[in-house]
Amino acid sequence: MSQLACPLCGRYVSLKCFDPSNFESDIYAVNRTGLGRGRGFAVGPSFSVLGDVTITAPIAERCRIILGLIEGRQIPSSKDVSVLTLEIEKWKGEALRIRKDGGDLHAKMAELEGTASYWKREAQTLQRIRNEKEAQLASHEETSQRWRSHSANLENEVRSLKSRISELSQLEEENEEEMPACEEMEEILNMINSSSNSDFECLIDAVEFLLEGG
């Protein structure tokens, strides 16, 4: 076998000269102009026709068939390639949309995290205020308990004084001239005036003052 028929163009070429690696990657064309009868043709400069679909499309389709024949697999046609390209572009757009939605979701999550942090700080502030109020309430309760205890002591003292006054009154009725009883009552009056920082002249007024919560 000394010659090979090119599966693309059908031209026979010598195997000695067949080396596709040296072929041009571009597709070139030339314009030929007749020089008159018997004078041949003039060949113009070569130019690329890669942008001409009417030329490249049949070549590409033939190349697919040849590749399928050599590699033993189905090579998609230009129509199939167009469909696949549209499908790829569709999924690219879907991927971009999902990426955009993901970015919006991340932004929303960041906003929610900021809001959560704000309310967490607010909750901590309210908890601190609540703790302070509870401490103040406990202090007030303690003070109130002290005053209740003091009031109970005063009531006991008043009852004791009333009992003593009653005894002294009986003694006074029995003996109005008896000075020691009067002195003792005067001493009690002085004690009440001193403890309440008052200036009562009559013992009964001082006792009523104590009974009223003074």
pLDDT at position 176 is 56
| Cα separation, 185 vs 54, whole angstroms | 137
Residue 29 forms part of a structural domain: yes
Q: Averaged over 117-135, what is the pLDDT?
A: 89
Has residue 178 got a pLDDT over 60?
no
Residue 46 forms part of a structural domain: yes
Residue 100 forms part of a structural domain: no
| Cα separation, 63 vs 53, whole angstroms | 15
Q: Averaged over 164-188, what is the pLDDT?
A: 68
Has residue 214 got a pLDDT over 60?
no
Q: At what angle do helices 179-196 and 203-211 cross, to 10 degrees?
A: 40
Q: What is the pTM of this model?
A: 0.34
With a pLDDT cut of 90, the percent of the chain lying above it is: 0
Q: Averaged over 173-185, what is the pLDDT?
A: 63
Winning range, highest mean pLDDT, from 12-21, 131-140, 181-190: 131-140
Give the domain-ending residue among 75, 96, 111: 75
Give the domain-ending residue among 75, 90, 111: 75
Q: With cut-offs at 50, 70 and 90, classify the pLDDT of residue 181.
A: low
With a pLDDT cut of 70, the percent of the chain lying above it is: 90
Residue 124 forms part of a structural domain: no
Residue 131 forms part of a structural domain: no
Residue 36 forms part of a structural domain: yes
Tokens matching residue 180: 């020691």
Tokens matching residue 37: 């009868």
Number of domains observed in the structure of the chain: 2
pLDDT at position 100 is 81
Q: What is the pLDDT of residues 81-108, one digit of tens each?
A: 777 888 888 888 888 888 887 788 888 8
Q: Averaged over 181-202, what is the pLDDT?
A: 74
Residue 99 forms part of a structural domain: no
Range of the domain at 171: 155-211
Give the domain-ending residue among 75, 104, 138: 75
Using a 10 angstrom Cβ sphere, with 0-12 exposed, 13-18 middle and 19 or more buried, the burial of residue 211 is: middle
Residue 184 forms part of a structural domain: yes
pLDDT at position 75 is 65
